[in-house]
């Protein structure tokens, strides 16, 4: 840790801080410059947190040398983590496409959509039963009935399935029906929920918050791993910027950056990341090209009847076309599309 | 609602949409322009949600005419709402200062801080028992023990108190100890929690999320009111922007804007809004000057010992000085500082 | 144009505005709703600008139906524009890679780099002679001497070249040496410079400003076309967001969006768009995959000696490796890499 | 300067860098940690720029200890700079209000507006002759004729005046007519223009760019001072964020922050900073309360006839009302409103 003192700091202040650093078992360093005094602390700087040096009135700034996370770090765990989602490997060589409706609306809707995406090559089914909606007057999902229908559709199509958990109280029931639990963007810093997901034995798909830096996302993942669940899959889904032509700004820079910083797999959600169905196919290909491990795509058997997010949903025919376009790009990057895995339950 | 069709839309499409609008009891309007056909729907456009017109492949854009909220709207409720927090009126003429430590750390710390802020003119005590922290390795608060100490300190200082609720499961216990429940920025779109707070009879302080537009904040408040709790106090606490010299960008524009759109009171939190204690006093005065109903300020008896957010905490002496500077500005705006209210429990 | 009146607007106000719309030759429309009166104007709404309806105290909002640009619009000009840069076609089927040093520093540096990028398959040489730098104490480029060296290097490598114009006064001299003139991100709304570039007969590469929406970029291009120069190539180079792990946030959503809105070619600059050399290759492939017409990449014969932007520059070996990785991705998208064009001057 | 090496850096790399630091006359420091090696350089780190250490492949990050600016720094020049604009002191105790139309449109319009703002207490007249407009089809100002009318109006009202310079080529003519030259937000990083303004003997009002960090603004000011003109007045005018309810997000945090970092005066432009006339008065008071030295406000004798920015312009009556509200707030902060200064030319 590097500590820069204010110009008005006295030698006594420097001495006091150096002693506190030494008392914690780190090696203190004194670097008196011409305009500022700089102090250093060599060793595991995480123990320095308890000194609250940022709060010291004579400290101008503090720079950490080490990342604030440990378990998610690629430095500690250099090899890619592969997460098994109901028999489908996420994070290995095959490129995994997860597809399905934004919300489960009816048995026919979800079964029909599930079969359609399976036949086009999707490896996992997605669908929301509990829906976080900006307005209290919007459709909030079918709840537990939605979970049952999702499971039924997944089984009918021979796919594993993932769905979102909105609250600590839902983890148990969602765990019963789904093969992976999704933590949505609005909950990325719902730390109580992250801890609960850390207690689950199911894989967790953790979506980046709309205003989360990559480092915030990694710290959120650290919450889950710190509770004992290392089966975490990250997901870039767009951040909020000044651009209004798209619903969000899909930050694909985050993909290669995350791959360098962590061993966890990283997906991309171009449906939420753009909000416009006509951009989903090109951004899916871009995601594959920059190193993502897979996609999360909204497909509805009839997008104009979708009760949520229809503007960004693909029809089954559009999804089939996307898969045909995607395959050669993924292959060119050494990532064959994941084969459909017939699930036996 | 105004619906702009794509250039390639046919007269049949226009006809079909007009019929669907009419079938819902709204008056449809046809406006064929030279380059685009525009459709309108007169009446309560909220019923049009079920048509999902944004999803229609021949629809270019949809513009709502009315705000998506109702209960929080000043149009429906022109007079300012005044919320009683343990005997202190928030939203009336007096300007209310809520102060206290970021986190409750010990009996001595919170009691001493509570007495200090009370003697300088704070009207309500704040303090966190459950702390949302970016890193799983940071201090997470004292939990229920923290609630007890906060209550004890509030009583000792003769002030009502507010504290944050992190999860649905905590609402009941927090309700027992605090005079108002705070919903933090990271939970502004935790809709399950908002609904639970809507069931409470205690006032709710709802903080704006880091990436929430003013409209999102109003919709979040609508969730609480829609459940029957109309005692909501909003709070601007800074948004996330590209500026890195401050922890957040305090968006004071939001204050007069919110006052025009809703009847609910609005506070400002300059501690989180700036992240730097040297900016807290000037931004407190600015908040009073632009029409805020009060402030939320972090004060610690010894900021450099604070276990969280010490960099933005004021010492009791700095807080006393702020209150002296604030008083003439608030008075110049016709807002006398709220007198201390001795609470009897 | 759709005009929503404030709730307090009287029938007289509506009447007055309708008459002003009619007087301009547009067809006025009256849509009295239950909570708001909405007015419409059918016809070329651009003539309505002179009414300044946004400024009217009784007008709540105004929505344009048509895009504010004309010449750059794909609606007016459905086929892709192909721009010839010194014999290299930009915007046709071949994918064009423009590469070279951030700044021209010496004859050896630019000639050596030019030969290296040409031998790896770059089609056009880039290099800065006039450098916009955040600090007045940073290297500001070699000026006219830099232009001469760039031309010499381009000729030696058999490539056309592009370089940035910083000011109206430089257009003439840069025009003399370069095959295309680049307008940098900081100058995207330097309208005087845009007009001057519109007078040039050389192609213009117009980079998106750091805080420019896609619509702002298209309006900036409209300035150039409106002066008579239709040889404009757009370039996405990253926008400024809250993310600090990368220098900018490369907004690849903009690529397919721009392709839908305009007929002009669109390049991507992953060097500035990420600021980190290790992200340049993956984001180059992503750019090709989402439909860009080419790339702008910084290459320096010895990045650690670069006098500017070395952190994002590739070495010749890294660039050669990028080109090998890029080729199959571009091909999979039906975009072969542009062959080197031997330029005779 | 603090240099953190990558984990894979060898002792030889550290040694090589330490020698290069020493060769430049700085004192090198070696801090071998358990997970990273950190190097330091004590002395004037500005000479280290030439080492381009950020570009070094074995360097993970570089932290500067000193600010990159010198002349604008309060450390070098602790006392507030007071800039004389045609007899009006900006930056001293009096609070200075600059008001006038967005654009000069006609003799009557500017003379009438000038007299109105003078009689309400404005100290300086503003008005645009050269207008930067997002669309090439929008009104671009009256040019030199506009300058003449502005001067005439200023003289008639007995006020000094300021106007915007768009291009290097305009500096001379604007200098002839105006008492201060304004550099607009879009030109804040037009470094050629900044240098030209540095050659002028007139005061410069430098507006913060829409995506400029406070540090970027200070570096832009440094460009002007480095050329010899120390009469620079800064101006916060709103930054671009995700919030769309206001035209920009007025960043008042910047005011006290800038006052701590530099000795230059700082104004606030609530007209552009909000884009909504109903927010101008509250944000003017907020600006005074947080320590601004004055305001820049758009006033038009008839806002609904304004040819640009009418939505944010005040009528003379609204301006008079604002001045009445502002006076007690400014006084409460120890800043009396600047008296009108009769200018003799």
> What does the pLDDT look like over B152-196, one tens digit per residue?
999 999 999 999 999 999 999 999 999 999 999 999 999 999 999
Torsion of CA A204, A210, A214, A216, to 10 degrees: -70
Are A294 and A97 in contact, with CB atoms under 8 Å apart? yes
Do B38 and C7 make contact, defined as CB atoms within 8 angstroms?
no
Closest CA of chain D from C287, distance in Å: 24
Looking at residue B344, its pLDDT comes to 45
| DSSP 3-state of C63 | strand
Chains contacting D (3 or more CB pairs within 8 Å): A, B, C
From A253, A278, A288, residue closest to C274, measured CB to CB:
A253
| DSSP 3-state of B16 | helix
Are A71 and A311 in contact, with CB atoms under 8 Å apart? no
Mean pLDDT of A109-137: 94
Do D285 and B290 make contact, defined as CB atoms within 8 angstroms?
yes
% chain C with pLDDT above 90: 74
Looking at residue B41, its pLDDT comes to 85
pTM: 0.95
Looking at residue A340, its pLDDT comes to 59
Chain C residues touching residue A331 (CB < 8 angstroms)? 332
Mean pLDDT of A278-289: 98
% chain A with pLDDT above 70: 98
Residue scoring higher pLDDT (C187 or D75): C187
Looking at residue C340, its pLDDT comes to 59
Closest CA of chain C from D343, distance in Å: 33
Do B282 and D243 make contact, defined as CB atoms within 8 angstroms?
no
Chain C residues touching residue B14 (CB < 8 angstroms)? none
**Average pLDDT of chain D to the nearest whole number:** 93
D interface toward B at CB cutoff 8 Å?
Answer: 211, 213-215, 239, 241-246, 249-257, 260, 273-274, 276, 278-279, 282-283, 285-291, 328-329, 331-333
Burial class (CB in 10 A: 0-12, 13-18, 19+), D260: exposed
Mean pLDDT of C162-172: 95
**Which has the closest alpha carbon to B207: B250, B260, B170?**
B250
Do C52 and D189 make contact, defined as CB atoms within 8 angstroms?
no
Do D36 and A4 make contact, defined as CB atoms within 8 angstroms?
no
Closest CA of chain A from D46, distance in Å: 12
Say which residues have a Cβ less than 8 Å from residue A5's Cβ, sequence separation at least 6.
A13, A14, A36, A37, A38, A39, A58, A59, A60
Phi, psi angle pair for D150, to nearest 5°: -60, -45
Do D192 and C226 make contact, defined as CB atoms within 8 angstroms?
no
From D243, D255, D288, residue closest to B289, measured CB to CB:
D288
Q: Which H or E element spans position C30?
A: strand C27-32
Evaluate if residue C344 carries a pLDDT over 50: no
Q: What are the start-end ranges of the E strands in chain A?
A: 2-5, 27-32, 37-42, 59-63, 83-85, 88-90, 96-100, 124-126, 161-165, 180-183, 204-207, 232-236, 266-268, 294-298
Please write the tens of the pLDDT for every residue from A53-81: 888 889 988 888 888 889 999 988 899 99
Looking at residue B46, its pLDDT comes to 74
| pLDDT confidence bin for D47, thresholds 50/70/90 | confident
| pLDDT confidence bin for D344, thresholds 50/70/90 | very low
Say which residues have a Cβ less than 8 Å from residue B227's Cβ, sequence separation at least 6.
B194, B195, B197, B198, B199
Please write the tens of the pLDDT for every residue from A99-109: 999 999 999 99
Do C55 and D313 make contact, defined as CB atoms within 8 angstroms?
yes
Chain A residues touching residue B5 (CB < 8 angstroms)? none
Do D29 and A32 make contact, defined as CB atoms within 8 angstroms?
no
Do C38 and B75 make contact, defined as CB atoms within 8 angstroms?
no
Mean pLDDT of B137-145: 90
Residue of B nearest to C210 (CA): B242
Chains contacting A (3 or more CB pairs within 8 Å): B, C, D
Phi, psi angle pair for C279, to nearest 5°: -100, -5
Mutate which: D33, D67, D260, vs A, most A CBs within 10 A: D33
Do A244 and D244 make contact, defined as CB atoms within 8 angstroms?
yes
Closest CA of chain D from B204, distance in Å: 24
Mutate which: A35, A65, A73, A248, vs D, most D CBs within 10 A: A65
Please write the tens of the pLDDT for every residue from C296-327: 999 999 888 888 878 899 999 999 999 999 99
Are B268 and B207 in contact, with CB atoms under 8 Å apart? no
Looking at residue B340, its pLDDT comes to 59
Closest CA of chain B from D337, distance in Å: 15
Residue of C nearest to B210 (CA): C242
Residue of A nearest to D42 (CA): A33
Residue scoring higher pLDDT (B149 or B27): B149
Beta partners for B245?
none
| pLDDT confidence bin for D341, thresholds 50/70/90 | low
Are C261 and C74 in contact, with CB atoms under 8 Å apart? yes
Closest CA of chain B from C257, distance in Å: 14
Evaluate if residue C55 carries a pLDDT over 50: yes
**Average pLDDT of chain C to the nearest whole number:** 93
Are B250 and B283 in contact, with CB atoms under 8 Å apart? yes
d(CA D25, CA D23): 5
d(CA A160, CA A150): 10
| pLDDT confidence bin for D340, thresholds 50/70/90 | low
- For residue C277, give both structure tokens: 């050399």
Mean pLDDT of B201-224: 97
Looking at residue B82, its pLDDT comes to 97
Do D169 and C168 make contact, defined as CB atoms within 8 angstroms?
yes
Looking at residue D342, its pLDDT comes to 52
Mean pLDDT of A306-318: 89
Mean pLDDT of C25-53: 81
Evaluate if residue C173 carries a pLDDT over 90: yes
Evaluate if residue B345 carries a pLDDT over 50: no
Residue of B nearest to C4 (CA): B65
Mean pLDDT of B68-88: 93
Do B40 and C42 make contact, defined as CB atoms within 8 angstroms?
no
Closest CA of chain B from D275, distance in Å: 10
Between A253-267, B265-279, C124-138, C196-210, the lowest mean confidence (pLDDT) is in C124-138
Phi, psi angle pair for B293, to nearest 5°: -90, -5
For residue A61, the tally of other CB atoms under 10 A from its CB is 15
Q: Which H or E element spans position B268?
A: strand B266-268
* CB pairs A-C closer than 8 Å: 119
Between C209-218, C324-333, D332-341, the lowest mean confidence (pLDDT) is in D332-341
Are B316 and B134 in contact, with CB atoms under 8 Å apart? no
Closest CA of chain C from D341, distance in Å: 32
Chain C residues touching residue D62 (CB < 8 angstroms)? none
Between C33-37, C191-195, C241-245, the lowest mean confidence (pLDDT) is in C33-37
Looking at residue D31, its pLDDT comes to 81
Between A169-178, B232-241, C5-14, C272-281, the lowest mean confidence (pLDDT) is in C5-14
Burial class (CB in 10 A: 0-12, 13-18, 19+), C6: middle
d(CA A207, CA A189): 10
| pLDDT confidence bin for C38, thresholds 50/70/90 | confident
d(CA A203, CA A229): 8
């Amino acid at each position: 840790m590097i500590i820069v003192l204010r110009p008005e700091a006295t030698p006594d202040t420097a001495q006091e801080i150096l002693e506190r650093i030494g008392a914690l078992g780190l090696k203190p360093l004194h670097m008196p410059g011409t305009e500022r005094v700089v102090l250093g602390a060599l060793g595991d700087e995480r123990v320095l947190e308890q000194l609250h040096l940022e709060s010291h009135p004579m400290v101008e700034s503090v720079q950490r040398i080490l990342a604030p996370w440990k378990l998610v770090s690629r430095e500690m765990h250099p090899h890619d983590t592969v997460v098994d989602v109901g028999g489908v490997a996420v994070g290995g060589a095959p490129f995994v496409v997860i597809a399905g409706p934004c919300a489960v609306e009816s048995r026919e809707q979800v079964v029909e959509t599930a079969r359609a995406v399976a036949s086009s090559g999707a490896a996992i089914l997605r669908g929301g039963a509990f829906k976080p909606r900006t307005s209290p007057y919007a459709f909030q999902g079918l709840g537990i009935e939605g979970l049952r229908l999702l499971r039924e559709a997944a089984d009918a199509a021979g796919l594993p399935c993932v769905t979102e958990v909105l609250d600590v109280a839902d983890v148990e029931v969602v765990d019963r029906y789904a093969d992976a639990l999704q933590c949505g963007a609005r909950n990325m810093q719902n730390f109580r929920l992250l801890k609960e997901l850390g207690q689950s034995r199911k894989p967790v798909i953790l979506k980046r918050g709309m205003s989360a830096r990559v480092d915030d996302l990694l710290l959120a993942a650290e919450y889950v791993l710190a509770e004992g669940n290392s089966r975490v899959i990250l997901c870039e889904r767009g951040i909020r910027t000044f651009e209004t032509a798209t619903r969000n700004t899909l930050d694909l820079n985050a993909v290669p950056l995350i791959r360098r910083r962590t061993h966890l797999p990283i997906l991309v959600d171009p449906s939420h990341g753009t909000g416009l169905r006509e951009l989903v196919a090109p951004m899916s290909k871009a995601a594959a090209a920059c190193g993502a491990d897979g996609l999360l795509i909204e497909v509805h058997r009839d997008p104009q009847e979708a009760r949520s997010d229809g503007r960004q949903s693909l029809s089954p025919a559009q999804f089939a076309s996307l898969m045909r376009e995607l395959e050669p790009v993924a292959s060119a990057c050494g990532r064959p599309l994941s084969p459909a895995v017939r699930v036996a339950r």
